[in-house]
Chain A
Amino acid sequence: GQQVMQIPQYQHVQEGEDFTTYCNSSTTLSNIQWYKQRPGGHPVFLIQLVKSGEVKKQKRLTFQFGEAKKNSSLHITATQTTDVGTYFCANTGTASKLTFGTGTRLQVTL
């Protein structure tokens, strides 16, 4: 079945540094959703992108959907300790099957 890979698996940054996670698929995606899961918490929906080349911003977070709709990225500017968690991309395929990527765990230290 379709698998969405994320890189890196893990990243450790100093507070104030930028962070980017990438989501890649071998097939064209109908949409991309991004979620954040804090340690011990549940995934929280952040945003959905549906158009080729779409870019959306939420404060320090910038989300991009590739022109070919096979990849996406989430960029965080000037990370803060509150950004700690695992970031997942996800895709709604056929029959509304919501499949998650492998996730990127972000650690931020002072």
Chain B
Amino acid sequence: DTAVSQTPKYLVTQMGNDKSIKCEQNLGHDTMYWYKQDSKKFLKIMFSYNNKELIINETVPNRFSPKSPDKAHLNLHINSLELGDSAVYFCASSQGRGGAFFGQGTRLTVV
């Protein structure tokens, strides 16, 4: 039973398209995150939600819009995809300041 699951695992799409990545956690955690990992492996926080409320938005272009319908789900919608959006996107969850549990990642390739 996967603790943090995100779909899809791979996403190949053309520039200008709109795409969504879904994330669900069954750990009962109150905090969920989206991270972007580039080719140099840096893990950069994009958004953080606590009990469905946005608490961190790290200067991410407004083409990226997170949505949390409930505290177990945090989806990421991306409009007008650009080449520079190609990366691995990780969803994660934690209980307060405890350790974070990550999903398997979504490898996004924009062509």
List residues of A whose CB falls within 8 A of some B CB: 30-31, 33, 35, 37, 42-45, 47-48, 86, 88, 90, 92, 95-100, 102-103, 105
Number of interface residues of B (CB under 8 A): 25
User: Could you write out 13 A-B pairs with CB less than 8 Å apart?
Assistant: A37-B41, A42-B90, A42-B103, A42-B104, A43-B90, A43-B102, A86-B41, A88-B43, A96-B94, A98-B33, A100-B35, A100-B43, A100-B44
- Among B33, B48, B100, B103, the most chain A Cβ lie within 10 Å of the Cβ of B100
List residues of B whose CB falls within 8 A of some A CB: 31, 33, 35, 41-45, 48, 50, 55-56, 90, 92, 94, 96-105
Q: Are A44 and B102 interface neighbours, CB within 8 A?
A: yes
> Within the complex, what minimum Cβ distance (angstroms) separates B17 from chain A?
25
Q: Are A98 and B41 interface neighbours, CB within 8 A?
A: no
Count CB-based A-B contacts (< 8 Å): 57
List, in ascending order, chain A residues with CB within 8 A of B41's CB: 37, 86, 103, 105
A92 and B56 CA atoms in complex are apart in Å by: 12
